[in-house]
């Protein structure tokens, strides 16, 4: 399917690896010019080189912490006019509800709520003025079904979800859609780090922790960054202009719910 977005320009945050990279690759395959971001310059340059070689699109990289004001300013200054924004950042650490301090919550809110909000505030006015734009926020299944040990994620991402629900309806008339993609477990470094924690806590091997988790998912496997990226690229396509303010769960059927 031709996604109809060849020549558009996308900023994909936190995209040297994992789900962000999956989104970047799928957009590049659709002919979209990219601005990629991550903190580590080496992996970022390597990802950009691989994408340029595979898809022949221009790729600009900006190494910066997207959750800091200075990092965002650097990314936005380099990015220029952006038609497609994919927000993403690392997820908060696991823990116990009783242990998190105010500072822990502020850090999680900064990374997983206020950073995407700030990026939307910076880039959507330009999209609206040009009459076309797409925003996809990478959030989490934790928005629909809380994950006990990821209370910081449950809380911060719920805040972002509320902001998007209200804002998406205000900008849609100007041709800009905002939607959220909610990953369930996907085979990325983040999953390795979460599974390593489970393995340690339960005194089992990493392979065993992974096998148990996979067995709990109806498709009996983890999702892939490629599948995730394809869903993102579709939401960014010309065909998705009527999809507004939605929360789309990509979890292999893990959440047992009718709606
Ligand atoms: P990942 O494989 O660990 O990749 C994270 C990417 O983000 C890397 O490129 C990393 O590069 C970059 N990054 C992290 N913090 C950043 C920051 N502050 N500024 C700029 N770049 C940053 O993670 P993932 O699995 O793709 O997860 C992406 C998001 O989805 C996370 O918020 C995660 O919590 C959420 N999620 C993932 C899953 C899953 O199963 N994978 C499930 C639910 C939700 P640098 O480290 O070099 O910056």
In tens, the pLDDT along 146-185 reads: 999 999 999 999 999 999 999 999 999 999 999 999 999 9
Going from the Cα of 148 to the center of ligand 1, the distance in angstroms, rounded, reads: 19
- Determine whether the shortest distance from the Cβ of 115 to ligand 1 is under 6 A: no
Going from the Cα of 176 to the center of ligand 1, the distance in angstroms, rounded, reads: 25
What angle, 0 to 180 degrees and rounded to 10, lies between the N-to-C axes of helices 41-55 and 18-29?
20
Radius of gyration of the chain (CA): 18
> For residues 143 and 179, what is the distance between their CA atoms, to the nearest angstrom?
13
Please give the model's pTM, rounded to 2 decimal places. Answer: 0.97
- Tens digit of pLDDT for each residue in 110-144? 999 999 999 999 999 999 999 999 999 999 999 99
From the CA of 15, give the closest atom in ligand 1: 9
Helix (H, G, I), strand (E, B) or coil at 199: helix
> For residues 69 and 75, what is the distance between their CA atoms, to the nearest angstrom?
10
Going from the Cα of 208 to the center of ligand 1, the distance in angstroms, rounded, reads: 23
DSSP 115: H
Instruction: Tokens 């390795």: give the residue.
Output: 192
Going from the Cα of 80 to the center of ligand 1, the distance in angstroms, rounded, reads: 24
Percent of the chain exceeding pLDDT 90 equals 99
- Could you report how far apart the first and last alpha carbons of the chain are, in Å? 28
Cβ atoms of 107 and 28 within 8 Å: the answer is no
Going from the Cα of 88 to the center of ligand 1, the distance in angstroms, rounded, reads: 7
From the CA of 142, give the closest atom in ligand 1: 43
Count of beta carbons in the 10 Å neighbourhood of residue 106: 12
Q: How confident is the model at residue 186 (pLDDT cuts 50, 70, 90)?
A: very high
- Determine whether the shortest distance from the Cβ of 37 to ligand 1 is under 6 A: yes
Cβ atoms of 66 and 37 within 8 Å: the answer is yes
From the CA of 63, give the closest atom in ligand 1: 20
- All residues at 6 or more sequence positions from 140 whose CB lies less than 8 Å from its CB, including other chains: 91, 147, 150, 153, 157, 182, 183
Q: What is the mean predicted confidence (pLDDT) over 18-45? A: 98
């Amino acid at each position: 399917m031709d996604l109809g977005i060849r020549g558009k320009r996308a900023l994909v945050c936190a995209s040297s690896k994992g789900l962000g990279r999956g989104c970047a690759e799928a957009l590049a395959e659709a002919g979209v010019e990219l601005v990629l971001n991550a903190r580590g310059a080496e992996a970022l340059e390597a990802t950009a080189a691989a994408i340029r070689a595979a898809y022949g699109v221009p790729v600009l990289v900006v190494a910066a912490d997207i959750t800091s004001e200075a990092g965002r300013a650097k990314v936005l200054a380099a990015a220029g006019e952006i038609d497609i924004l994919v927000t993403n950042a690392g997820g908060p650490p696991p823990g116990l509800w009783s242990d998190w301090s105010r500072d822990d919550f502020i850090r999680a809110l900064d990374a997983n709520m206020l950073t995407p909000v700030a990026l939307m505030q910076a880039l959507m006015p330009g999209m609206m003025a040009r009459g076309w734009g797409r925003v996809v926020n990478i959030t989490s299944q934790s928005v629909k079904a809380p994950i006990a040990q990821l209370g910081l994620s449950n809380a911060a991402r719920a805040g972002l979800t509320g902001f998007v629900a209200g804002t998406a309806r205000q900008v849609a008339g100007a041709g800009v859609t905002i939607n959220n993609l909610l990953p369930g477990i996907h085979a990325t470094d983040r999953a390795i780090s979460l599974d390593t924690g489970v393995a340690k806590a339960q005194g089992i091997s990493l392979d065993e922790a992974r096998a148990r988790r996979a067995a709990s998912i109806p498709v009996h496997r983890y999702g892939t960054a490629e599948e995730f990226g394809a869903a993102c690229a579709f939401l960014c396509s010309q065909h998705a202009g009527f999809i507004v303010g939605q929360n789309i769960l990509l979890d292999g059927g893990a959440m047992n719910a009718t709606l």
